[in-house]
Structure formats: structure tokens, C-alpha cells
Chain A
């Protein structure tokens, strides 16, 4: 017997969700909360796009080591997103450059877009959640 969540009648429409990440990872809870919500959307097989801009680019900085601050390092989770079919990851070029970072500094492969391209992408979405 199919599990309730496998029941076809419960299949809702697939919407285009964009999650806009604008905060650094540990100073506030926004980054971690965003990641939780992204995983939920992925579990419901929605069309998920992630954007990292402003201080949000720091969420996916390589080599985070939180041993000394007593907080969980959740950056490896971004590498698991591919397993949930979350593969549309965008980083704003201007945000990366103003922080002296390049894509070599990031834990996941991303597509770098400029602010105008990002604005276009935002226009294509059905739901935008900003963290």
C-alpha cells in the first residue's frame, strides 16, 4: 500500500521557488533556517533555486571549522543538496567580488550571475523567500 505521502491525490502543483540567502552563516540563525526550509521544499519535489548574495556568499565559503565556537558547521549540507535534486545554485558576481572571493573559495559548484541576470531570474520565479 502506498504511504500517504505517495498518494497521487496529494500531489500538488510544482512551483518555482527561489531562496535568497543574504546573511553570513553564524552571526544569526537565518542561514541555517533557510537551509532547513530549502530541504523541506526539496522533499516536496518543488522546483528549487538558491541564490547567495551579499553576506550570503559566506555561507558556502570553503574550510569552515566551527570546533572552537561550539556551533555546528552546516556548510557540508550544501554539498548534499544535489542529492535532493537542488542543483540550481546562483551566486551574485558583485557580492563575491566585493568580498575578495572567487568560485574556487566555495564548497559547491555554482553559476555566477551579475545583478541584472539575477533580477531576471527573480522575475521568473513564482515564490521568493528571502533569508
Chain B
């Protein structure tokens, strides 16, 4: 399996998600955590970019960070998968390695 890329910065403030996407090979997965979860919500100016990335990547978002920020699964863009901490661990074991974009 290719790599799992984690992104923890808001897409409105930093270019971290763009950089991760630019360096992720087809089939690599993206996991949005902490302020990175703001990329996961529909109706924002970055939603189309994230939707487009689904063509090449599975994109996951960490549920506890979503609810902390006053959002819920129904705000999440269709096609993204919400995972809990156990799911985070599963992804880390499932993919060959993890790159944490900070």
C-alpha cells in the first residue's frame, strides 16, 4: 500500500493540504486531523478542490476533531470517510508508512 498523509493545518490559513496533495501518488490516502478537518466540510471555497482529489485518493477525516469544532458528519463532503481514533490506528497499520505534513 502507498503512503498515508496526515494534514493538520487549516486550508484557509496554510498551503499544507495543497503540498500534501501535490506529493501524494495515486492511491495514497489523506487523513485530515486537528485544524486540517476544516478542509472536509461542504460549502466552503476549498470543497471543490477536495472533491476533485477524491479521484486519486481516499480521504479520511478524524471525527473527534470534527465534533470539537462544532461540525458533524452531515457537514462532511460526500465521499470522505469519518474515522475515530481506532480508525486512525487502523489506517496507520494498513498503509506502508505515514507522512505527517505539519
Binding site for B on A (CB under 8 A): 23-28, 54-55, 58, 61-69, 71, 73, 75, 98-100, 105
Contacts and interface: CB of A to CB of B under 8 A. Distances in A.
Contacts of B63: 68
A99 B70 contact: no
A75 B70 contact: yes
Interface of A is mostly: loop
Contact of B38 (A24, A64, A73, A75): A24
B64 to A, nearest CB: 3
Given A55-B12, A98-B44, A61 B35 contact: no
A63 to B, nearest CB: 5
A53 to B, nearest CB: 11
Contacts of B41: 99-100
Interface residues of B, number: 24
A98 B12 contact: yes
Contacts of B13: 23-24, 54-55
Interface of B is mostly: loop
A100 B43 contact: yes
Contacts of A75: 70
Given A68-B63, A100-B41, A100-B42, A26 B68 contact: yes
Q: Which 6 A-B pairs have the closest CB atoms?
A: A100-B43, A68-B64, A27-B35, A61-B70, A64-B70, A66-B68
B26 interface: no
Interface string B18-55: 00000000000000001100100111110100000000
B64 A27 contact: no
Given A24-B38, A68-B68, 14 more contacts: A23-B13, A24-B69, A26-B68, A54-B12, A54-B13, A58-B69, A62-B70, A65-B70, A68-B63, A69-B64, A73-B68, A75-B70, A99-B38, A100-B44
A54 B8 CA distance: 17
